Structure 1
């Protein structure tokens, strides 16, 4: 680890500063709580064991910090962008396909990092401008809307349940209240507080099965799904073609987070350690996550928010949070507790989270002042939205492109081939 000569005068702890032991534990625990709700929600929605997601999140963060020379304070957690693809793969092929897809996205990042090192990064902006990224991000959220509604309406037998709807809506209302009115540390973890409150409501409604929690051991090895050990070698072309294109979308999110961190830390991480290194770190983290059977990981804006509010930018604190996540993944009762969260509680949280994702895509379009009076922009956005939300599938033999991946591909192609102006718009 290189010792920096520059120190940001506006912070409590700068990137290379090491806190005192008790302070270190408390600050790391705060980051753990901040990412916990979202990180475990992804595997719950997909059907992956949450303990694996905690493990892959911690390992991924440590890999990222090591790869970037401990120069960037960032935490990596489960990515929401891949949920629709992972849900589909889980239904059709199970864990092996999801793991292979996650490792594929990591390889895409690694390849892109090598290209950036050789030829720069301008081509990413040309390939994925705001008119493509905005609608694709909207598809990520809106494409999941039906799942959230179904989880809120139907019980385990597929019957319409007013009780489930009540739990979902109460969970949603409380989460909104936490988001709007809490300050300080509680204001940083509204999703986690929403899940806890929804769980207590579900207990009161009698729809929580607590027996698995009682039977679970305190210490238990996460249910790793390691390739070539837990399952025989097989190439899932559909997993590769479904997950790989989405990596380019999350890459733009990665670049956005680095831009925010540059302003926050008064540094230029695009120059040192360089965008190629930051993308390489993210890619290697995803490879590790996929190898143990976890979902792809990405840098978390929530944790960047903690950095901004606390003015503690120490990579030692982020590393400590990663270690705590790994330790927590071995607590069997925690995993059983998470798995016992009933679907209407997750639905209530999802109403807000999926909507926020979709709104983030809309914000990209607004911030970049995309003009929808131009036919080109209207066509690109329209095609992406309908193909992505409609779930169009293109399949030839084992080759398959569906939903999100197909929408992204169409967006990229249309952006490259359509002229800036339609003939009817030319004076």
Structure 2
């Protein structure tokens, strides 16, 4: 789907570099693997209540954002986050982008690798130079986080494949060398980016799959692996040489359909996880007060939340508690798969209050239906207030874009018209409401 020309400066917001949104400064707090504690949720709630708009936003990478942070200095905010363990490295806070499969189990145990990768990343001074959009992923084998990532660990046939931009270029390592391999791949990216920038400093090339976006390679270099010429092949060769391993025969990989965890999910160890949809990816203060009671939580890349490691007898109580504060913890929720950008009034570039319009459309859907707003038998639906498409899901999805007068609904090629037509009907209903 087309997007406007990209600027050359990487201006990803963080906890120390706030974004000047229309409703006030915005801070993005990285949560490697989406993992945080109930105590940290309480700190985020207090910060949102004291200095922000009272809500915490979930992002498509499993991070969180605080909006409308008026009347607070960056130093005070950073101090509170650091005290809560949410800002362990000021030098690397923008590059701690680590996605991980949210549910326990699978062919690769990702939970211990998340912390190991985060610590090793922060301990490497050179990797502070990664772009703020560069994404690591630790995939348990479900295929839920590997494919959108720049470099990912993905278990295959008794070894772990290191994928580049979702492509297998033949790099294999044992499970015990996953973290060193990912770090070596990140170094390879920085080296290859610089090589390509020097070889042709005047070139701007079109990034595959980026619509109308172009990459100012001569100014700042590529931000993502897919923006490099032959990125997967060249990075695999560089990384293999650094690790001293040969490349294997690549295999073609198909990204499986993603099913966000909702409801009660039995773990391999007999414990239970409870997953819930967070409507439009915003936690309210009331919802956070319930989540504070959890020892550990996982924010998912689909703007949901998982409470893992529960005793079977305790899990139904958690499911009931989440549902009681408006977190959708049952399969078939009308909110499943429905996301939006900030829209008006939070973003000055937006042409509509997309959250309000999406909310009306979801509520207009028949309960238990199979349309796109119900999140069943259809692709995810993302509402955006302008052509930039902020917060769009990584995979195929239906895009509902504000035009200034109405909304334009676009479905991916080959997905059929049912998804797009269904959303169009809901958009019309919302506008009439």
TM over 0.5: no
User: Larger helix proportion, structure 1 or 2?
Assistant: 1
Using structure 1 for the length normalisation, give the TM-score. Answer: 0.30
Using structure 2 for the length normalisation, give the TM-score. Answer: 0.30
Q: With a CA cutoff of 8 Å and minimum separation of 6, indicate the structure with the bigger relative contact order.
A: 1
